[in-house]
Amino acid sequence: MTFRPAVRADAEAIADLIRAYDRAHGGETGTDAGEVRDEWTWQGFELERDTLAVEDDGRVVAYAQAVRRPPEGEVQIDAWVHPESQDRARGDELYRRMEERALELGGDRLVTGVFGIDRWSAQLLAARGWEHARSLLRMAIDLEVPPRPVWPEGVEARSFRPGDEEAFHAVAVEAFADDPTYEAGPLERWSADRLDRSAFDPAFWTLASASGRPVGIAVGYAAGPGGYVELLGVVPARRRRGLGRALLLHSFAAFRAEGRTHVSLHVDAGNTTGARRLYHDAGMRETHRVDRWEKPAG
């Protein structure tokens, strides 16, 4: 068994590992090598120092990465262990090394996420001093013929155009200002981390405006055979007027037009803005839970 940094040639093997983990825990199995490489383009990310692959008999059986993301001071550790290789000592060493790297990155809080039914990882994290902080629900819908969006009076919507970065960022900042779990960060970094992905397609980004002012956004990406809505935001003054539903249905139509078979997103299980009801009313269903665990650095 060998612990080593990942190299670019590992992307397909890591994607295979993630798909095996997802299958074992009821998750979506569409991760591909392109999505793995996209993670490695995060601003400031160093493949040699921020990743760890565990190889056994020439096969990658575990992988982890540490990424410093907004909110400021937070380092996210993502780790996958093949369901047929869940050795406690191996998993413990994987997290120990990545926690050390997180300290080097200067974070004061470590975060990670595991499927709610993954008791093996939950027990490992608890033994290492991590605590369950909150849960996200994955919601999904199979795409047939989605209803046409009905835009509120005075609202116009269009796909992303070069130069729209500032408008999308401004809506994200305002729409999620009261969400303690989200921080947009500086415009330059926010834009680079999203527009530089291989999965970026302007058709899956929607900007809604009223009287020339941006008031809502939907940010989506292709994900395997489906689509993923990463952000759906409406500024507070424009909420409860049907704009969120229109943005969501417009995203469904955009993904279906490109041959996508389904769409998914995540919502905080404790969300109080009515987002879960909006997604349910649009025909989405809850498929599984992802638990967020946290640990103070040091």
Q: Which domains does the chain have, with CATH numbers?
A: 2-132 (3.40.630.30), 141-292 (3.40.630.30)
Spatial distance between the Cα atoms of 257 and 204, rounded to a whole number of angstroms: 10
Looking only at the bridges linking them, the beta strands covering 51-56 and 59-69 are antiparallel
- pLDDT exceeds cutoff 90 at 43: no
pTM over 0.75: yes
Q: What is the mean pLDDT of residues 102-113?
A: 92
Query: Which pLDDT band, with edges at 50, 70 and 90, does 20 fall under?
Result: very high
Q: What is the pLDDT of residues 47-95, one digit of tens each?
A: 999 999 999 999 999 999 999 887 778 999 999 999 999 999 999 999 9
Q: What is the pLDDT of residues 172-186, one digit of tens each?
A: 999 999 887 788 889
Residue 227 sits at φ, ψ, to 5 deg, of -130, 155
Answer for the pair 229, 205: CB distance below 8 angstroms, yes or no: no
pLDDT value of position 107: 82
Cα 93 to chain center, whole Å?
25
Burial of 5 (0-12, 13-18, 19+ CB in 10 A): middle
Cis omega before residue 186 (within 30°)? no
Q: What is the mean pLDDT of residues 292-296?
A: 96
